[in-house]
Amino acid sequence: MNATIEKYTPKLMVLPTFVILLIISLVPLIYVLGISFTDSTISKPFNDFIWFENYKKALTDEVFGDSLVNTLIFAFVVTTIQTFLGFVLAFAMQRERKLSGVLRTLALLPLFTPPVAIAMIWRLIYDPNQGMLNYYLVKWGLTNAPIAFLGDKTLAFPSIMLADIWQWTPFCFLLCLAALQSLPRDPYEAAMVDGASAWYVFKRLTLPMVAPQVIVIFLFRFLIALKVFDLIYMLTFGGPGNTTQVASFYIYRVSFKQFQTGYGGALSILVLILISVLATLLTKGRELLLKRVE
C-alpha cells in the first residue's frame, strides 16, 4: 500500500494542476472551438450549427482586422520602448550602489499598482479640463487650448501606450539589471587594465554578453503586451472610433456587450492561432539570431 502511494507520489503531486489546466485551458478551448461554429448568444450556447459562417464574417470584419493590427503595433511599440529604457536605466544603475536599494523598491510600485487604478490616474492626468498634463501645457504656454488626449483619434493610442510604459518599464529595468549583474567580471577587469573607453567596453563586452537575455526579456514582455485589456477598457473603451480597438477588448465587446458568443468564439480562435504562430516564429527567430552571434 505505502509502496504504491510512494510510487505514484510524483503523479499525485501534479494531479491538481493537471485538472486545473484542463479546466482553464483545454476544456475551454474545445468549448470555444465548438461554439465558434454556431450562432450562439450568451443565453443560448450552441444554438445553430452554421459551420464557418463566423470565420467568414471575421475575415471581412474591418474592426477585427484593425484590432489585430492595433494589438501588434501596441505590443511592439511599448515592448521596444520598455526594453530599451529598462536596459539603459539598468546599465546606468549598475555602479550606483546608493540608489540601487531605493530604486529597486520604487520600481515595484508601477508594476504592482492595480491596472484599473493606473488607468484612473492617467485619466486624471490627461483630462482636458482639470488634468495635470493640460494644466502645465497651458501654464507653460506650450499649447493655447487644452488637448483631449484620450478623445483625439491620433493621440488616444500613444496616450494609452504611455500609461503602459509607465507601468512596465520598471519591470524590464529589474530584469535587465539582473541580467547585467549575472555577467562574468573577468573580461571587464582585463579591459579596465588597458584603459579601454567605456563605450568600447560596452560595445565589445557588455552588449554581446547580455544580448541573449535581453532578447528573452523582450519576447516575454511582447507576448504579455498582446493581452492588453484593462487600460483600454478604462481609458478609451476602444474609441474614439475604433482607433484604440485591440483584440482582447474587441472579443470582450462582441461576447459580453453584444452577446454574440459564437462570433466571439471564432475571433478567440483566430487570435489564439495568430499568437501561437507569432510565439513560435519569435522563439525560432531568437534561436537563429543567437546562432549568428556565436
Partner 1 sequence: METNGTFEIHAEAEEIVARKDVSYYVSHILFGRVFRIVLLLLFILAILIPIVYIASTSLKEPIEIRVSGALLPTGPITTINWIKAFRNVPLVRYLFNSTVVAFFSTILVLVIAVPTTYSIIRFKTGGWFFPAWILGTYVMPPIVVSIPIFAMVKMVGLQNTLLGLLLVHTMANMPIAVWLMDSYIRAIPKELEQAAWIDGYSKFDTLRRVVFPLIRPGVLATGVICLILSWNEFLFALILTYGVQSNTFPIGISRYVGEHGLQFGEMSAAALAGIVPIYILVFLFSRNLVEGLTRGGVKG
Q: Which of residues 27-66 bind partner 1 (CB under 8 A)?
A: 27-29, 31-32, 35, 42, 45
**What's the CA gap between 212 and 35, in Å, rounded?**
41
**What's the CA gap between 250 and 234, in Å, rounded?**
14
- List residues bridging with 49 in a β-sheet: 38
Among residues 69, 73, 116, 281, the one that binds partner 1 under rule CB under 8 A: 116
**What's the CA gap between 152 and 164, in Å, rounded?**
18
Q: Under a CB-based contact definition with an 8 Å cutoff, are residues 107 and 172 in contact?
A: no
Give whole-number Cα distances, 121 to 107, 166, 246, 272, in Å: 17, 11, 21, 31
Cis bond before residue 240 (omega within 30° of 0): yes
Sign of dihedral through CA atoms 213, 217, 220, 223?
negative
Is 154 a residue that touches partner 1 (CB under 8 A)? no
Is 143 a residue that touches partner 1 (CB under 8 A)? no
Per-residue interface string for the shown chain with partner 1, residues 191-230, x marking contact by CB under 8 A: x--xxxxxxxxx-xx------xx--xx--x--xx-xx-xx
What do you get for the CA distance between the two ends of the chain, in Å? 54
Among residues 11, 97, 185, 292, the one that binds partner 1 under rule CB under 8 A: 11
Residue 5 or 62 with smaller CB distance to partner 1: 5
Size of site (CB under 8 A) for partner 1: 113
Nearest approach in angstroms of CB 101 to partner 1 is 9
Inter-helix orientation angle 261-293/53-60, to 10°: 60
Nearest approach in angstroms of CB 206 to partner 1 is 11
Is 124 a residue that touches partner 1 (CB under 8 A)? yes
Is 275 a residue that touches partner 1 (CB under 8 A)? yes
Stretch that binds partner 1, among 20-28, 57-65, 75-83, 152-160 (CB under 8 A): 20-28
Stretch that binds partner 1, among 61-69, 75-83, 91-99, 153-161 (CB under 8 A): 91-99
**What's the CA gap between 178 and 165, in Å, rounded?**
20
Nearest approach in angstroms of CB 234 to partner 1 is 6
**What's the CA gap between 293 and 290, in Å, rounded?**
5
Is 293 a residue that touches partner 1 (CB under 8 A)? no
Among residues 187, 239, 240, 243, the one that binds partner 1 under rule CB under 8 A: 187
Is 108 a residue that touches partner 1 (CB under 8 A)? yes
